Chain A
Amino acid sequence: MKTYVARRLMGLLFVWLAIATIVFALLRFVPGDPATILLGSEATPQQLEELRVQLGLTRSIAAQFTEWMTHVIQGDLGSSLLSKRPVMDEMLERLPRSLELACLATLVSVLIAIPSGVIAAVRRGTVWDQGLLSVALAGICIPSFVLALLLIFCFSVELRWFPLRGYHPRSDGFLLWLWYLTLPALAYGFVQAAELARMTRSAMIEIVSLDFVRTARSKGLPERSVIYHHALRNALIPIVTLVGINLGVLLSSTVAIEYIFGIPGIGSLLVDAIRNRDYPIVQGVILGVATMYTLLNLIVDVSYTYLDPRIRYR
């Protein structure tokens, strides 16, 4: 197990290096230049050149890359071209907000999806099943930003139960924090739940037809225990995989929801940085998100050994 994790972490290093190189190179090949954006349209060629020298953009790409890498290895991601603040500070300030949103959304999706998936599987073919499947289909079809606007219209504009937008850190009070994050988490969680419920349903249908479930039933276990302790536990592997992937996807795709609800998270940081060609921020954020994504996958893989003791990593 330890060697497995060590090997995976080594692999991570390569993934990480590859991503760093690709992002760095891609950014330089995309048309658009930070100096033009900073200076605006009336910039003279001389002004542009001066600023490029100041920003270190006139050196060769290889030289820029080497310098950046040397700093990154020492834990220094550089400073934003726009705000002039260290990239690390910007990320550490915004990342927790996106993480909170992603985790809450995942929680919402798990709470909705697993019970409904199980119910649909157990009552397969009934009205319950059909109904849940239809809702899930709608959930898959509706984009989260559309749902977000619908939720805002219902709960913020008409009913006024929730605030329109904004974010409060937990230090302002847990309830205030939760109150502000509820609608965004619902908007994201519901869409994720749809896919997860379908996955739970099909995994459960497969499991409940297996012999060990019949054995469990025939030895007189109550149905509840059969379904939740025996069947669901065995159906968890694909479910956990999906939850893990979803969490990773959420982390990198909270942009739309962050934009609508005005949550200053990592997604909006990245999108603004791309628009402004703020190279250090884009590089830093993508590296950070990629690292988290790969680590998350590793955690999911490792969790299999707990879900199914037969799985061993060497």
Chain B
Amino acid sequence: MSTSIARPLIFFPLLASVLVGLCLFGASADAQPKKGGILRVGLYNDATSMDPGTSTNVPGIRVRNLIYETLLAWDKDLNLQPMLADRYDVSSDGLTYTFALRKGIKFHDGAEFTADDVKFTFDRLLKVSPRKSNLSMIDRIDVIDPHTVRFRLKQAGPLFLQGVSMWFSQITPKQNSEQQLRAHGQILEPVGTGPYKIAEWRRGQQIRLVRFADYVPRSEPASGLAGQKIAYLDEVVYIPIKDNQIRMLSLEQDEVQYVQQVPPEDTQRLAADPKIEVKSVPGTNWSAIYFNTVLKPVSSKAMRQAIASAIDYDELNKAAFWGRGTVNNSLIPEAQVTWRTPEHRLAFKHDPARVKRLLQEAGYKGEELIFQTSNEPVYDLIAQNLQAQLKRVGINIKLSVLESAAHGASLYIRSSQNKVPSWHMGLLVSMAFRPDPDMHYYTRGHSSANIGFWKNAAYDALVEKARALQNVTERRRLYAQAHQLLIEEVPFIVLLNEPYIDAYRTSVKGAQVLDPHMDIFWGVWLEK
């Protein structure tokens, strides 16, 4: 079904989103759900650690989504809904948040979930979490009674509620965590409140989760990460299979029933198998070219505009993602409905005549531009295609290809060493989705943070104002303006959104394929 979705998607984004919506709901309209069975999932890489406090390992984050819960959770439209907290009250100055916690909730070790666990979790996060600066607005946490907890903030703003709802803010049990920390100095065994608990973890081989018998689902309908979570499956077994081809073969042979991140080139073959369902949804991860705005000739706005107009984005989409990506020059993907206003459709236009004019204006004489990229597969495809495209309009690119960690070091040399990069252009692939626009608009563009040393006072003012406001409508307006500024000034070019493709055996029912990628295997059942 999904391949037929992906095609019109390129031409009719609106129709496509309706179709995707239909097939998401269509899945739940199948026969009656039944309990039982084991779902084996081909995980694309190994989970190294599952401690919410210290780990940023992505495969681990996916598995953790079934084990742990947060105070609030994102629904499928990326609005915050209650999860471990039933509701919250905000003081009029926006500095005090009081959460009323769910009662009668148990951790996997049998301990009751209380306000002490919330305080313990955040106190620990503020000390050890690699993402603690996302929570740095928290001043202190007070336990009011076993089911009420109060957060006192240093500054008001929308980032607090988002911070406590992210994967790095999952609640861990005080008593059990303290025991583990005393014994090992680390939290090695995941214990949460989620619908599945860990039964066996053979590192590098498999992670076996079983249904948590004492889990009490919420009453609201299931949506994204929020609402009712009913565990139909007896077990969810994650098997790391790093090789793409072998992972696809494992699905075809029914050794696993669900695989994530299907390479675009394999979708057609898999979809031809009547026993396999392929679901392709518009992705939220994006790729971009950064400009080093203090290095000639890309320090000239005309030069950057010329490059933006020289690119045929549809061609790039075909070259890198077999046409399954979504061309989009905004930091906000189409799927992010809360923030995507019509202004974000404003895009760069492929216009060779304009390029010629702009190159003249910039005084470009064919100098070689250094394009910093990595040897990872998709990087290769994007960089080589861009090199060829720019060559056609007379812009000479020299690729500087490094292994991924070295590429990262070169790209982020400003944030790590406060040095000016040696490249003219740098390639970023697969920037992960962020639920709040601030996490991209501020970090990618504000003069204090962006990696290309771009400075624009008007832009800085916009994103500073937007991060201090609570009002969504007002913030939307500011980010729309920020987008227009980015298209005009071109400090970077957001190229396109990657496709997000999962595939599973037709025996798997009720699967929600959503991007941002999170594993939602509650509400999923197996038909024999």
Contact = CB atoms under 8 A, between A and B. Distances in A.
Interface in B198-240: 203-205, 239-240
- Which of A36, A156, A268, A277 is packed against the most chain B CB atoms within 10 Å? A36
B55 interface: yes
Q: Which of A43, A79, A94, A152 has the most CB of B within 10 A?
A: A43
Contact of B253 (A37, A47, A85, A157): A157
B242 A259 contact: yes
A43 B250 contact: no
Interface in B42-83: 46, 48-49, 51, 54-57
Interface residues of A, number: 49
Interface in B225-275: 239-243, 245-246, 249-250, 253, 255
B469 interface: no
Nearest to B255: A164
Given A38-B56, A41-B412, A262 B246 contact: yes
B130 A38 contact: yes
Contact of A84 (B54, B249, B403, B414): B54
B404 interface: yes
Nearest to B413: A31
Interface in A80-94: 80, 82-85, 90, 93-94
Contact of A264 (B186, B203, B408, B416): B203
Nearest to A145: B243
A312 interface: no
Given A32-B406, A37-B408, A45-B418, A260 B51 contact: no
A84 B411 CA distance: 27
B432 interface: yes
B14 interface: no
A149 B408 CA distance: 32
B456 to A, nearest CB: 19
A166 interface: yes
Contacts of A93: 203
A275 interface: yes
B410 interface: yes
A31 B239 contact: no
Contacts of A80: 48
B402 interface: yes
A157 B414 CA distance: 49
B418 A44 contact: no
A31 B49 contact: no
Nearest to B428: A41
Interface string A68-100: 000000000001101111000010011000000
A63 B412 CA distance: 26
A65 to B, nearest CB: 21
A167 B415 contact: no
A51 B205 CA distance: 30
A48 B408 CA distance: 13
A262 B243 CA distance: 8
B412 to A, nearest CB: 6
Contacts of B418: 45
A48 B204 contact: no
B15 interface: no
A41 B444 CA distance: 10
Given A36-B408, A38-B56, A44-B415, A167 B205 contact: yes
B246 A43 contact: no
A41 B416 contact: no
A40 interface: yes
A50 B203 CA distance: 29
B243 A82 contact: no
Contact of B48 (A47, A83, A157): A83
B513 to A, nearest CB: 24
Given A47-B133, A85-B186, A32 B242 contact: no
A32 to B, nearest CB: 3
Nearest to A79: B186
Contacts of A206: none
Interface string A128-172: 000000000000000000000100100011001001111100000
A84 B205 contact: no
A92 to B, nearest CB: 12
A166 B239 contact: yes
B347 to A, nearest CB: 23
B409 interface: yes
B428 A44 contact: no
Interface string B413-455: 0111010000000001001101000011001000001000000
B255 A163 contact: yes
B458 interface: no
A308 interface: no
Contact of B416 (A48, A167, A272): A48
A281 B432 CA distance: 27
A272 B241 CA distance: 14
A45 B415 contact: yes
Contact of B431 (A41, A50, A90): A41
A83 to B, nearest CB: 4
A216 B410 CA distance: 70
Contact of A32 (B130, B405, B428, B449): B405
Contacts of B144: none
Interface string B179-196: 000000010100000000
A39 interface: yes
A36 B416 contact: yes
B253 A164 contact: yes
A47 B130 contact: yes
A25 B402 CA distance: 20
Closest 8 CB pairs of A and B: A264-B204, A32-B405, A31-B409, A84-B186, A31-B406, A83-B48, A82-B48, A32-B409
Given A47-B133, A84-B55, A260-B246, 10 more contacts: A32-B403, A32-B405, A36-B409, A41-B412, A42-B439, A42-B443, A43-B415, A82-B48, A84-B188, A264-B205
29 contacts: A32-B406, A33-B405, A35-B416, A37-B405, A38-B56, A38-B130, A41-B408, A42-B440, A43-B412, A43-B415, A44-B415, A44-B443, A44-B449, A45-B415, A47-B130, A47-B132, A47-B133, A84-B49, A84-B186, A94-B204, A149-B245, A152-B246, A164-B253, A165-B241, A167-B205, A259-B243, A260-B246, A264-B204, A277-B405
Interface of B: 46, 48-49, 51, 54-57, 128, 130-133, 186, 188, 203-205, 239-243, 245-246, 249-250, 253, 255, 402-406, 408-412, 414-416, 418, 428, 431-432, 434, 439-440, 443, 449
